[in-house]
Amino acid sequence: MMANTILCVLTLNCWGIPFVSKDRKARMKAIALELASGKYDIVCLQEVWAVSDFNLIRDGAKPVLPYSHYFHSGVAGSGVCILSRFPIHDVLFHQWPVNGYVHKIHHGDWFGGKGVGLCQIYYNDLLINVYAAHLHAEYDRESDEYIAHRVLQAFDTAQFIHMTSGGADMVILGGDLNTEPDDLAYQVLLLNAYLHDAYNQPSAVDKTTFGTFATAQNSYTPAKSIRKSPNGQRIDYVLYKGGHRAQVTQESYSLPLPETVPGETFSYSDHEAVMAKFKISHVGNATAGHSMDLERQNIVVQKALEICDEALKRVGRHRKQYWMMSLALLLVLIAMLWVEWGIKPLVPFITALMCYMIFMATLWNNMEVNGILAGKLGLQVTQARIQSAWASVEVPQTNT
């Protein structure tokens, strides 16, 4: 029988955008040095966009974290990687069907080919499924055009975890989920994957200081953000659950890194790192501890379905707009046949713009519709399962 053992898990969004992120090379070296300290057993990193940065971190931490995997995806790479003290036996990456917009170059999420990565790790004869993810960013909370994408990414991640963790003795998800605890995407993920938030456990004592992004102590937080919300946003998480052969108890939760890199005036990233320690006991046949709050699950799934319906209507409007603009540009091209030659150099530009509008109205629009429909149909299956389980629950009869 395995003795109780402690497992230390860290997650950090490294803010490693080449040519954009400030002090990137110096911060990556500092992150590698911190990981080489030996404090952590499993590390989930996000926004490691440059392979050279991953190599630097991997090589620097290799004496204590000898096993690692980078999940390549999309145009720029997923930015997601996992480092481990223990052997990685299998890996898998699932790219989300809806992932931002190709024409929103200034946002860039689509180019990352975002998804959820899985590393299966064996630790003292126990199988630990470690997932790392980075959901689509929220650029405007008041008018969030990506809410459907993020909700469906959360549902897709929950389904991926649910379908791949059947034999696991422990499940860990670390990452920047770009969603706060009151948001629908957060609830969809936790309820459908039956995960626990390490922050909500009794070991997270001083909860007022646990914002993980745009916090007052971070050197990269703009003054405007500090005035608006001094504690920042909690969007980085360590989520977990136990399996059938292991009992998992959380020992501690903290933001372990100092406000600035030692000897420097800047922070490790524009995000804070999150660390959780767990005690794992091998108990033979433990209960996986799935949540049975069917009413809450049903409400959350119904809200997600409403988000999908709104997104499909919006995509339909976009299709009409792109076709109207394509027709307008075609009429301009026809009219230019009868005008003087002086403006004919504009023909290639207008033709290219018209082709772009047609591409957006057809190929791209179909891709987004199919991605949303895939998520919606999956949600409907989940809702049917929940309602069936709900109907089978016997209601106690009250004697009067």
Q: Which residues are catalytic?
A: 271
Phi and psi angles of residue 81, each rounded to the nearest 5 degrees, phi first = -150, 160
CA 326 to chain centre: 35
User: What's the helix, strand, coil split of the chain in %, to 5?
Assistant: 40, 20, 35
Contact 294, 389 (CB under 8 A): yes
- Helices (DSSP H) in 99-251: which residue ranges? 147-164, 184-193, 223-228
Phi and psi angles of residue 193, each rounded to the nearest 5 degrees, phi first = -100, 0
Single out the residue of 70, 47, 49, 46 nearest to residue 58, CA to CA. 70
Kindly report the length of the chain.
400
Single out the residue of 346, 365, 363, 353 nearest to residue 327, CA to CA. 353
Contact 234, 11 (CB under 8 A): no
Burial class of residue 229 (count of CB atoms within 10 Å of its CB; 0-12, 13-18, 19+)? middle
Contact 281, 247 (CB under 8 A): yes
